[in-house]
């Protein structure tokens, strides 16, 4: 018989007690490497759902099941456009996610497995209007509705700052907008974990660092962390009160504390990940083809008790086995993004030792479509899939519909027109058609303030604009406010400041790793009139050439008025060179207002040319 949930909660309260935590954690080594662990066998050969077996159990086995997903980003409605399908299968939407979770739980129960549903961060933030208009309260309520139990925080949980994350977790009305749906907000019933997000004053995690579940009497421990690099990709103003510690050191310290309490089977929920790479041209959702990324080194440093690592952040799907600090294999998973996949993880525990004896994982597509007799998917217009009413969960739909109805008058208002699909996908030069359009929109929005060019961070472009999409019944080519908001959901301010030509060049050099502290290559999207070439293989600081504005070479000594969002202007994404500007002014409204104004200014807007930047190497 499974002990009641309160037993795990009681242990968690002891684990989280500040005096005990500080005393024990301070005594642990930085790497936290434990003693010997039974060696794991090699994973199944080839590209297939991962399965790792450990030593034969010595005291009987307990069977369990985890269901996981990550990077939901408030995707209450099924994604549209180029993101509507996963490897050709239409997928996503919270009422479909709920149905598939229930199905997989029932399948596990039929095998005698108790299910725990977990997440790996970015449940909220960068969300469509149906969630963002209510400060993501709808998403939190829906995560409770679909049965989520534990999740790490991700970088986007901090989009509105630490104080807002605490409110989202604990509940209560928004301090400015109040309770917009008039029925209060109770906060998250599931447990948010933030082991490596530390209050600068106390040195303690701002949210619980660990949780414990009992599976037929055997404890399983969970540690939750976000990526250490969170400060570089969220607005600095909202996180001044916290620091983000190393993922591996944090996981191993709290894992060591869990071990002191007799817990030998552990799961790391980490908002950092990796990616498959071709070949094959289209890796399977449960494959691990040519895998690489930050998660590889994270796992390599982990205690072997972390038999399972549920990851995220990269929005990629995979199921892998990677070596941990002992050389044994840990199972590592990610379910893509937007609730379009669920990772179905079966595991077994040794009843005597409490250790994992086997773990297997596969990704399941959250199908939402209707098949034709030939196996293809029904479409009401090119790229617009017909949804299957038989796969809708009534409870999740009712809750989602409450917020859909509330936001519909705003979301369905037609604000402009496009002449074709405008995609966010970057070309080989790093430029995208939609990135061009957004940069042009921000330039047009600030011309009256003397703006001469605009720069846009690629990570701020969250979705493509689809010509055929008709979420609110609008005609093909018409763009609604809700669709525009999905493209730019951060409510960033639009700021214009003066940079010298030399500073502008330095900003563009900071697109590349190794210059002025930059750790990740990010190609800024540029407005019409800006042209330059780059060679990413050249030495740091000398990669940009032929920089010109309207055909005239940029003068290092001249001054230029440059528009960006305030995230970039404050040094976000590592662009610290932008903080050196002078004469900063702020346009009225938000960045989405600039896009809306541009889309509605006249003739239908076409895709940007994506040819303003030339890649030389």
Query: Which 3 state secondary structure label does DSSP give 523?
Result: coil
390 and 425 inside one domain:
no
In the chain, which stretches have pLDDT less than 50? Answer: 1-46
- The answer to whether residue 578 is domain-embedded is yes
Q: How far apart are CA 251 and CA 259, in angstroms?
A: 12
> Final residue of a domain: which of 369, 399, 429?
399
Q: What pLDDT shows up at residue 542?
A: 97
Q: What pLDDT shows up at residue 576?
A: 95
104 and 164 inside one domain:
yes
- The answer to whether residue 483 is domain-embedded is yes
570 and 477 inside one domain:
yes
> What is the CATH classification number for the domain harbouring 306?
3.60.21.10
Domain total in the chain? 2
289 and 433 inside one domain:
no
- The answer to whether residue 366 is domain-embedded is yes
- The answer to whether residue 253 is domain-embedded is yes
610: Cβ–Cβ under 8 A, 6 or more apart, which residues? 427, 429, 431, 432, 433, 435, 436
440 and 364 inside one domain:
no
96 and 187 inside one domain:
yes
Q: How far apart are CA 504 and CA 500, in angstroms?
A: 6
Bridge partners for 265 per DSSP: 220
278 and 367 inside one domain:
yes
384 and 434 inside one domain:
no
Q: 150-152 and 114-120 as β-strands: parallel, antiparallel, unpaired?
A: parallel
Q: Say if residues 347 and 308 touch (Cβ distance below 8 Å).
A: yes
pTM for the whole structure: 0.88
Nearest to 345 by CA among 111, 155, 188, 124: 111
Q: What pLDDT shows up at residue 48?
A: 67
Radius of gyration of the CA atoms of the chain, in A: 25
> Final residue of a domain: which of 348, 370, 399?
399
468 and 609 inside one domain:
yes
Q: Say if residues 528 and 443 touch (Cβ distance below 8 Å).
A: yes
- The answer to whether residue 28 is domain-embedded is no
> What is the CATH classification number for the domain harbouring 506?
3.90.780.10
Q: Say if residues 517 and 582 touch (Cβ distance below 8 Å).
A: no
- The answer to whether residue 384 is domain-embedded is yes
Output the six-digit token pair for 449: 């303030």
431 and 381 inside one domain:
no
- The answer to whether residue 442 is domain-embedded is yes
326 and 236 inside one domain:
yes
Q: What pLDDT shows up at residue 130?
A: 97
Q: Say if residues 302 and 324 touch (Cβ distance below 8 Å).
A: yes
Q: What pLDDT shows up at residue 180?
A: 84
348 and 477 inside one domain:
no
Q: 114-120 and 61-69 as β-strands: parallel, antiparallel, unpaired?
A: parallel
- The answer to whether residue 36 is domain-embedded is no
Q: Which DSSP string do the residues of 122-168 spell out, in sequence order?
A: -SSSS--HHHHTTTTHHHHHHHHHHT--EEE--GGGGTT-HHHHHHH
Neighbours of 292 (CB within 10 A): 10
> Final residue of a domain: which of 340, 364, 399?
399
Q: What pLDDT shows up at residue 45?
A: 34
Domain encompassing residue 319: 50-399
Triad 119, 120, 125: Cα angle to 5°? 100
Q: What pLDDT shows up at residue 183?
A: 86
């Amino acid at each position: 018989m499974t002990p009641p949930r309160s037993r795990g909660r009681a242990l968690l309260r002891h684990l989280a007690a500040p005096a005990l935590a500080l005393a024990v954690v301070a005594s642990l080594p930085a790497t936290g490497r434990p003693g010997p662990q039974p060696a794991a066998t090699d994973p199944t050969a080839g590209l297939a759902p991962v399965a790792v077996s450990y030593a034969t159990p010595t005291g009987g086995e307990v069977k369990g099941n985890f269901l996981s997903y990550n990077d939901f980003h408030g995707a209450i409605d099924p994604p549209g456009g180029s993101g509507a399908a996963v490897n050709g299968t239409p997928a996503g939407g919270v009422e479909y996610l709920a149905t598939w979770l229930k199905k997989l739980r029932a399948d596990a129960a039929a095998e005698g497995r108790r299910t725990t549903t977990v997440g790996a961060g970015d449940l909220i933030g960068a969300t469509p209007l149906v969630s963002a208009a209510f400060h993501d309260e709808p998403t939190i309520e829906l995560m409770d509705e679909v049965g989520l139990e534990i999740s790490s925080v991700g970088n986007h949980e901090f989009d509105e700052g630490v104080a807002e994350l605490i409110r989202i977790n604990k509940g209560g009305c928004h301090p400015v907008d109040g309770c917009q749906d008039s029925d209060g907000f109770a906060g998250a019933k599931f447990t948010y974990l933030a082991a490596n997000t530390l209050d600068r004053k106390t040195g303690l995690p701002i949210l619980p660092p660990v949780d414990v579940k009992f599976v037929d009497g055997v404890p399983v421990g969970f540690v939750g962390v976000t990526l250490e690099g969170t400060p570089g990709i969220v607005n600095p103003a909202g996180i001044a009160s916290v620091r983000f510690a190393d993922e591996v050191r944090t996981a191993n310290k709290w894992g060591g504390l869990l071990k002191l309490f007799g817990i030998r089977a552990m799961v790391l929920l980490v908002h950092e990940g990796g990616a498959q790479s071709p070949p094959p041209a289209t890796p399977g959702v449960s494959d691990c083809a040519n895998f690489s990324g930050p998660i590889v080194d994270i796992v390599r440093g982990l205690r072997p008790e972390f038999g399972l690592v549920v990851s995220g952040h990269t929005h990629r799907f995979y199921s892998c086995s990677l070596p941990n600090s002992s050389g044994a294999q840990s199972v590592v998973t990610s379910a893509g993004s937007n609730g379009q996949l669920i990772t179905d993880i079966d595991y077994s525990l040794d009843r005597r030792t409490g250790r994992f004896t086997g773990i297997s994982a596969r990704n399941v597509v959250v199908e939402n479509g209707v098949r034709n007799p030939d196996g293809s998917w029904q479409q009401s217009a090119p790229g617009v899939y017909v949804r299957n009413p038989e796969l809708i969960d009534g409870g999740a739909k009712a809750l989602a519909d409450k917020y859909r109805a509330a936001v519909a008058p705003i979301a369905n208002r037609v604000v402009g027109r496009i002449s074709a699909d405008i995609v966010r996908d970057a070309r080989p030069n790093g430029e995208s058609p939609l990135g061009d359009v957004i940069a042009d929109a921000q330039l047009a929005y600030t011309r009256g303030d003397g703006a001469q060019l605009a720069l846009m961070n690629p990570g701020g472009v969250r979705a493509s604009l689809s010509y055929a999409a008709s979420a609110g019944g609008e005609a093909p080519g018409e763009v609604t406010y809700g669709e525009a908001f999905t493209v730019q959901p951060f409510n960033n301010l639009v700021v214009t400041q003066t940079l010298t030509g030399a500073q502008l060049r330095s900003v563009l050099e900071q697109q590349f790793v190794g210059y002025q502290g930059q750790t990740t290559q990010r190609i800024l999207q540029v407005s019409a009139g800006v042209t330059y070439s780059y060679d990413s293989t050249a030495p740091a600081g000398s990669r940009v050439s032929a920089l010109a504005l309207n055909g005239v070479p940029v003068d290092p000594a001249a001054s230029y008025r440059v528009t960006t969002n305030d995230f970039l202007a404050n040094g976000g994404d590592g662009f610290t060179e932008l903080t050196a500007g002078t004469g900063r002014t702020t346009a009225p409204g938000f960045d989405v207002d600039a896009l809306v104004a541009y889309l509605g200014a006249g003739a239908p807007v076409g895709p940007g040319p994506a040819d303003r930047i030339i890649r030389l190497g």
